Chains A and B, each alone.
Chain A
Amino acid sequence: MSRAFGIVNFAGNNIQGNPMQAYRPTGAISFLGRYRVIDFPISNMSNSGIDSIQVYIRRKPRSLVEHLGTGRHYNINSKRGNLNLLFCENGDENSIYSTDLAAYVENLDAIEEMSEEYVVIVPSYMVYTADYEEFLQNHIESGADITLMYQNVDNAKDHFLNCQVLNLNKQKGVLSLEPNHGNVKNRNIFMDTYVMKKEIFLDLIDKGRKLSSVYTLADALNESCGEMDIRGVSHRGYFAAMTDLKSYFDANEELLDRRKARELFHEEWTVYTRTNDSCPTQYFEGSNVKSSVISNGCLIEGMVENSIIGRGCEIRKGAVVRNCVVNADVVIGKDVHVENMVIDKHAKLIHSNQIIAEPEKPGYIRRGDKL
């Protein structure tokens, strides 16, 4: 049993650039066909032995609550463990006041009563694999007040926009945090992943609240860099942040490369999700599928290339699906040609013949739309 409890945070106001968020919180967005984004942080916790988990939900809870349920499918001990959904009712969903810090204040009782000494806080809009037990041990051994996880990237000019950047000294001490506005290529992107003692966390909440009503936890942290021992540890391997449609599209497409996929999916590191009990996928005469990831329950008669197909999709005769991320239960009708699109759940593309976007600027078809 871990000495830490876990918090899965919601995507803040800086991360609201994906049109798919109109229908659900970022954590509930489908990922690589059969998963949801939130499966990754929760599986990381479960695999790291953290089985007291709080998930914060700010808005549109339906799909997330349905997906998480009791959390049984995450292999969390059903008696000792606990997956707790915490809602925030403070004000308007996109209001500047609706921050993670405000959510923690609102649920302070739930945090105070946790019996674990430490807390690991992770985001629900990022996908990566990390061992939080190792993260916690490093933190304890280092004697630091707070440890943050980051990844050094060389594409920060056009990726990870609006994520936080860590400015570090040579000893990996955190000097400050600032948003990534895309003006420098090489950056240490903060993975919104923290470990600290619960007491320090509570102090930080208190401090942030006193400073400003619109502060986030990262803002409060930034104010504390001078007086606290805050350190960064670097993460390697697959790392994606779903900050907008393009990054969501890229994060999925990148995993078509099996070497990349092996960075995220390890043998001994199961990614859990809720099963839908769909039957296997049926390929008919004339189907032509290449370089793609296909979920169960699909009926495929057309052509699919460089695409991720969600559960229960129908790709009819003569259809061409190229470079697309297709969510569950989508129908691509006869002879319809789609390219470079993100197609949201339940959409039906029947009447239009060609729906093609530029690869640099993927298009989006809304949930349940009929075209």
Chain B
Amino acid sequence: MKQNNMLAMILAGGRGSRLHDLTKKVAKPAVSYGGKYRIIDFPLSNCANSGIDVVGVLTQYESVLLNSYAAAGRRWGLDTKDSGVYILPPREKADANLDVYRGTADAISQNIDFIDTYAPEYLLVLSGDHIYKMDYDEMLDYHKEHHADATIAVIEVPMKEASRFGIMNTEEGGKIVEFEEKPAEPKSNLASMGIYIFNWKLLRKMLLADMKDPDSNHDFGKDIIPRMLEDQKTLYAYKFKGYWKDVGTIDSLWEANMDLLDKNNALDLADSSWKIYTQDTDALPQYIGAQASIERAFITQGCIVDGLVKNSVLFTGAKVAPGAKIIDSVLMPGVEVEEGAVVTRALVADHVKIGKNAIVGSADSENIELVAKRVKGEE
């Protein structure tokens, strides 16, 4: 099935070092989110739902888990003939030295041969560590309508936060006139979402030149986009409205999970017309005990709740024993909280055990506590 002649490349090589212990063993796109998902499920499901057949996933940092996870294209329905998910770590080639990906643009440059085998008309470049639902096919329509050489998805951010982002300055109609990376005095509040559609032929030419440029950082934001603007290419900003979150820190990852507790929240994971697909687990449905008390919570299969859960998100297989209290917290897959323990404003990492009567986190802490090691109980 030939769909929209656009191939997607997901940049999934980042470590996400501000997520501390969560990304010690796995790359950021493989971090768990929302009870049963991993962050990379979002761009992959968006691709599948947008009618994109071929997706390359560019991995680098701690990629073993991510490689096998993303390679199972069947999970996202990317397994028909002529369709697939390809994992692309840096590889040795006949005519070049083996090199790590030196930047976002270099990751694409090193895979020009892969992209050429599909000869797409358009190339969609995505980042693997954002949480949002977006129809890339609509963005492609916009790109075509404006006869653009490149289209960049942008989102309006509060003006006072704009200096944290790459900002697009546009003229009326959406044409980009200037790009500023983290400007001290921003002129607009349109932040780049790191989602680009390029006409492949043009980008290919530019990447080949960029590879040879010793002064380049080989980065889309720092090098390719400014060069395109210099060359008077037509760049358009595509305004995205909806939920979008970069979960770069423990606090923002926690927040993004808490966002799911609101009624009619903007991410709307329950929308069956735009499902987010993920690895299927064979776990039982949730077992809720006789003494359980649950309010404002997001809980998935495999969980066993016998204690109190309030304002919290429980991931696959999390267990809360009788008398334990989970408040304003996130329990990642396989976490066990024993009797009488109290967890407040904390994010408990995969498979960590919190012992009997232990106290973790506090209601008035400024930051969310990351619990990545077993917490011993008290008798």
Give the interface of A toward B (CB within 8 A).
32-34, 73, 258, 261, 265, 270-272, 275, 277-297, 299, 304, 308
Residue of A nearest to B294 (CB): A283
Tell me the nearest residue of chain A to B287, going by C-beta: A293
Partner-binding segment picked from B94-102, B154-162, B298-306, B342-350: B298-306
| Closest beta carbon of chain A to B25's beta carbon, Å | 24
A-B contact pairs, 26 of them (CB 8 A): A261-B287, A271-B282, A277-B276, A279-B34, A280-B298, A280-B301, A280-B314, A281-B286, A282-B297, A283-B297, A283-B298, A283-B309, A284-B295, A287-B295, A289-B292, A289-B294, A290-B288, A290-B292, A291-B289, A292-B288, A293-B286, A294-B285, A294-B286, A294-B299, A295-B286, A295-B301
Decide: B301 and A277 in contact? CB cutoff 8 A: no
Among A282, A284, A296, A299, the residue within 8 A (CB) of B285 is A296
A309 to chain B: closest residue by CB? B285
Contact A295 B285 (CB under 8 A): yes
- Quick one: given A270-B282, A277-B278, are A286 and B288 in contact (CB under 8 Å)? no
With A283-B298, A288-B293, A293-B288 known, 7 other A-B pairs at CB within 8 A are A279-B34, A279-B35, A281-B299, A284-B296, A289-B288, A291-B288, A293-B286
B285 adjacent to A32 (CB under 8 Å):
yes
Provide the residues of chain B in CB contact with A271, threshold 8 Å.
282
A37–B266 CA distance with the chains assembled, in angstroms: 36
Task: For A270, list chain B residues within 8 Å (CB).
Answer: 282
Residues of chain A within 8 A of B263, CB atoms compared = 284
| Chain B residues within an 8 Å CB radius of A33 | 285
Main secondary structure of the interface of A (DSSP, over half): loop
Identify whether the interface residues of B are mostly helix, strand, loop, or mixed: loop
B26 → chain A, closest Cβ, in Å?
21
The chain A residue with its CB closest to the CB of B45 is A277
B275 at the interface (CB under 8 A from A): yes
Closest residue of B by beta carbon distance from A297: B270
> A287 to B296, alpha carbons, bound, how many Å?
8
Does B290 touch A at the CB level, under 8 Å?
yes
Cβ–Cβ < 8 Å partners of B35 in chain A: 279-280
Contact, CB under 8 Å: B299 / A285: no
Say whether, besides A279-B270, A287-B295, A296 and B289 are in contact (CB < 8 Å).
Answer: no
Interface residues in B122-147 by Cβ distance below 8 A to A read none
Q: Nearest residue in B to A33 (C-beta to C-beta)?
A: B285
